[in-house]
């Protein structure tokens, strides 16, 4: 009976605390939800996915965070460790959608040289640049087809082609496509053989992509080592818990142990992103 009384008192105290800070907590909660929703909406826009709902991703990351935290608590019976585990589940949807955006970006970079050759051939056949883009946007593979189709759609809606190219370059975030857009805009202002320009750009971008693929292949081992570096400490901690659970519980029960864990996690995260920063070099 005493335990139920303590639990009820704690619940009432929590509600009173929430009510007293409602003017701060509720707007902050809405800001975080709005920020996460905007992030997923922007990512889905890059993927040209009009069917998925950003709210589903926001709800999913909260449920996954609580699920992972609850699972860790059932195993270790340590509230602090379950709090640390919450981000591991919370950011699973973010990791998945970032991976999907990166894969589409890589496919776009790979398809761009062939798309420029197709547009160049259409221009040589007598079509204007807007007509060549619209024609090839129907036949090119996705995702490069989606980007050129959007440019053509904006042009048909009355937006100048230069502005449509500039918007596309800003939205895609590709240095290679920004170079293409700048070359096309300058060519429209000063004239010249646009077919020759597109063919030269295609050859240059193909070589850049080949060099980038070579770098990614040669650094694949180091990337894998970085992921292993993050995975090994939690695995060792789990194995140690299976062997000596009291020792692990003592680590998370003392203030010094909590500080040590936070310091170790911070060093691991910094080292991981440092490795990624070193390996992700532009050509």
Say if residues 88 and 68 touch (Cβ distance below 8 Å): yes
Mean pLDDT, residues 214-223 taken together: 80
Q: Is the pLDDT of residue 46 over 80?
A: yes
Map residue 3 onto helix, strand or coil: helix
Residue 215 counted as domain residue? no
- DSSP 8-state code for residue 158: T
Per-residue pLDDT at 2: 45
Whether the per-residue pLDDT at 131 is higher than 60: the answer is yes
Distance CA 165, CA 255 (A): 56
* 20-29, 184-193, 272-281: range with lowest mean pLDDT: 20-29
Tell whether 22 is covered by a domain: no
Where residue 1 falls among pLDDT bands split at 50, 70, 90?
Answer: very low
Q: Name the token pair of 242.
A: 């299976």
Predicted local distance difference test score (pLDDT) of residue 282? 57
**Residues whose CB falls within 8 Å of the CB of residue 149, separated by 6 or more in sequence, listed in order:** 137, 138
- Residue 240 falls within a domain, yes or no? no
| 18 pLDDT above the threshold of 80 | no
- Domain residues for the domain of 122 are 102-206
CATH code, domain carrying 108: 1.20.81.30
Domain assignment present for 40: no
- Is 280 contained in some domain? no
User: Structurally, how many domains does the chain consist of?
Assistant: 1
Greater confidence, 208 or 28?
A: 208
> How does pLDDT run across 180-207, given as a tens digit for each residue?
899 888 888 887 788 888 899 899 888 8
Confidence class for position 272, pLDDT limits 50, 70, 90: confident
User: Nearest CA to 183 among 199, 207, 170, 159?
Assistant: 199
Tell me the three-class secondary structure of 80-148, residue by residue.
HHHHHHHHHHHCHHHHHHHHHHHHHHHHHHHHHHHHHHHHHHHHHCCCCHHHHHHHHHCCCCCCHHHHH
Query: Which two three-digit tokens encode residue 62?
Result: 């909260």
- Other CB atoms within a 10 A radius of the CB of residue 16 amount to 10
Per-position b or e across 249-261, b if 16+ CB within 10 A of its CB: bebbeeeeeeeeb
Q: What are phi and psi of 143, to 5 degrees?
A: -100, -5
Rounded to an integer, the average pLDDT of 207-232 is 81
109-123 per-position pLDDT tens digit: 899 999 999 999 988
Average pLDDT (67-89) is 81
Compute the average pLDDT of residues 48-58: 85
Spatial CA neighbour of 177 closest among 210, 207, 136, 205: 205
Angle at which helices 22-46 and 54-76 cross, to 10°: 110
Please check the confidence at residue 27 and state whether its pLDDT lies above 80: no
* Mean pLDDT estimate for the chain: 82
Task: Give me the pLDDT at residue 112, please.
Answer: 92
Is residue 109 a part of any domain in this protein? yes
- Is 261 inside a domain boundary? no
Q: What is the pLDDT of residue 117?
A: 92
Whole-number pLDDT of residue 113 = 92
**Is there a domain that residue 236 lies in?**
no
């Amino acid at each position: 009976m005493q335990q139920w009384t303590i639990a009820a008192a704690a619940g009432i105290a929590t509600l009173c605390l929430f009510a007293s800070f409602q003017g701060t907590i509720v707007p902050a909660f809405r800001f975080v939800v709005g920020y996460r929703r905007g992030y997923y909406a922007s990512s889905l826009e890059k993927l040209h996915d009009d069917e998925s709902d950003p709210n589903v991703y926001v709800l999913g990351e909260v449920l996954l965070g609580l699920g992972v935290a609850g699972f860790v608590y059932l195993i270790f019976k340590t509230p602090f460790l379950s709090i640390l585990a919450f981000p591991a589940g919370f950011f699973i949807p973010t990791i998945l959608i970032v991976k999907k955006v990166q894969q589409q970006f890589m496919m776009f970079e790979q398809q761009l040289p062939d798309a420029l050759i197709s547009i160049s051939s259409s221009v040589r056949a007598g079509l204007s640049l807007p007509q060549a883009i619209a024609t090839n946007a129907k036949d090119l593979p996705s995702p490069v087809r989606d980007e050129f189709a959007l440019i053509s759609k904006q042009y048909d809606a009355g937006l100048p082609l230069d502005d449509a190219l500039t918007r596309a370059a800003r939205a895609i975030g590709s240095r290679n496509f920004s170079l293409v857009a700048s070359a096309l805009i300058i060519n429209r202002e000063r004239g010249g053989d646009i077919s020759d320009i597109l063919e030269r750009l295609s050859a240059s971008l193909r070589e850049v992509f080949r060099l980038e693929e070579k770098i990614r292949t040669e650094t694949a081992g180091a990337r894998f080592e970085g992921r292993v570096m993050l995975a090994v400490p939690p695995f060792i901690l789990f194995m140690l818990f299976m062997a000596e659970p009291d020792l692990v519980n003592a680590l998370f029960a003392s203030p010094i142990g909590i500080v040590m864990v936070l310091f170790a996690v911070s060093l691991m995260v910094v080292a991981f992103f440092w490795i990624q920063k070193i390996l992700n070099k532009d050509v």
